[in-house]
Structure 1
């Protein structure tokens, strides 16, 4: 049994990861999204959610017994120890789920979308990495209009992530997403052919 090629797709906030990953999805490539997995492992009735509420108390839940993310963010933002506790719980669970989903993928190669691909060492699960890259000014511009948040807030999120230059140095492929969407889609199609070749030579 050959190992399926995994392409790690990453990029800062507002870089257009979703637009690029949905293009690959249209071509028929399986997408595993780390953010979605992170939500699934703390979904209602999950082991993750039970452990979080046992640790932080039932006050961490909404009235419908789902996780109150805003409250949890507030706690771990103020308390480094609690943040470490949460990461130690979440990261192995997320990684296990991601690995499972990658193994179940049926397409010639599979794409793992993760905003913190390098920061959380998820690139170790990938044979190749793709950075969706845009200038910081454009990240701020896109995110403020999309999420209706202040540019200060976006700047602080960007500051908390790995610097753009560092990601550029780590990535195998870089897709400049500051052009029009049709250009981005053409670039994605070209990369698709490269990845297909990789997948075929991996048999």
Structure 2
């Protein structure tokens, strides 16, 4: 999927509540564009999209709300605990998300760009075209504490949410760079600044 027009691309990933958003905001403050797979996942099934038509073709109109938008609560109920249905939904959404991210990386005119991809470890084979992988890492005990405070959920659910993702070890295997985010958020400033300078140099060398 390589293209001569593709600039320098860094994939940003990390476990739930590891601090990806805090890192993304700091790169954005430095003028770097961050394209988010979660935003892509909403846009590719927006009303009128071929993605939403494909969802309805497979699952039926019962997954739409009164505004003819995807009823996310109904869809979650439909696929939760049903691996076949979950895979069917992913087969519709994931390729479109990848295309959305690739299109924006190609169109980006900054010195480099970031793609925020929470499920990179689960789909890494489809992202061979990125130049570098940055993992935001936090111990599971820290993730758990942040999830409990952030979402107001019980510990059993928080643990299930963590366990459903790729393991911390699997994510770290992919990493070219790691930001350890287990303390004060202000400590991220220095790490992001150092990586920004590094990525500027790498992007320049790629041209």
Aligned partner of 1:135 in structure 2 is 139
1:104 aligns with 2:107: yes
Equivalent residue, structure 2, for 1:43: 46
State the Cα distance separating 1:79 from its structure 2 match: 2.4
Q: Structure 1 residue 63: deviation in Å? A: 1.4
CA distance in 2, matches of 1:79, 1:2: 40
Aligned-pair Cα RMSD in Å: 1.3
Question: How does the TM-score come out when normalised to structure 2?
Answer: 0.93
> When the two structures are aligned, how many residues end up with a matched partner?
203
Give the Å deviation of 1:2.
5.6
Q: Distance in 1 between matches of 2:49 and 2:171?
A: 33
Residues 3 and 93 (structure 1 numbering): CA distance in 2 closer, same or farther, change over 3 Å?
closer
Q: How does 1:15-164 map to 2 (within 5 A)?
A: 15-121=18-124, 122-164=126-168
Structure 1 stretches of at least 4 aligned residues deviating more than 6 Å after TM superposition: none
Distance (whole Å) between structure 2 residues aligned to residue 188 and residue 169 of structure 1: 20
Instruction: Tell me the residue number matched to 1:167.
Output: 171
Q: Which residue number in structure 1 is paired with residue 196 of structure 2?
A: 192
8 Å contact kept, 1:41–1:94: yes
Normalised to the residue count of structure 1, the TM-score between the two structures is 0.95
Distance in 2 (CA, whole Å) between partners of 1:129 and 1:69 is 30
Q: Structure 1: give runs of 5+ residues left out of the alignment.
A: none
| Structure 1: distance between partners of 2:93 and 2:162 | 22
Question: Does structure 1 conserve the Cα–Cα contact (< 8 Å) formed by 2:121 and 2:170?
Answer: no
Which ranges in structure 2 are unaligned for 5 or more consecutive residues? none
**CA 1:2 to 1:200, structure 2 compared with 1: closer, same or farther past 3 Å?**
farther
What CA distance in whole angstroms lies between the structure 1 residues aligned with 2:6 and 2:98? Answer: 17
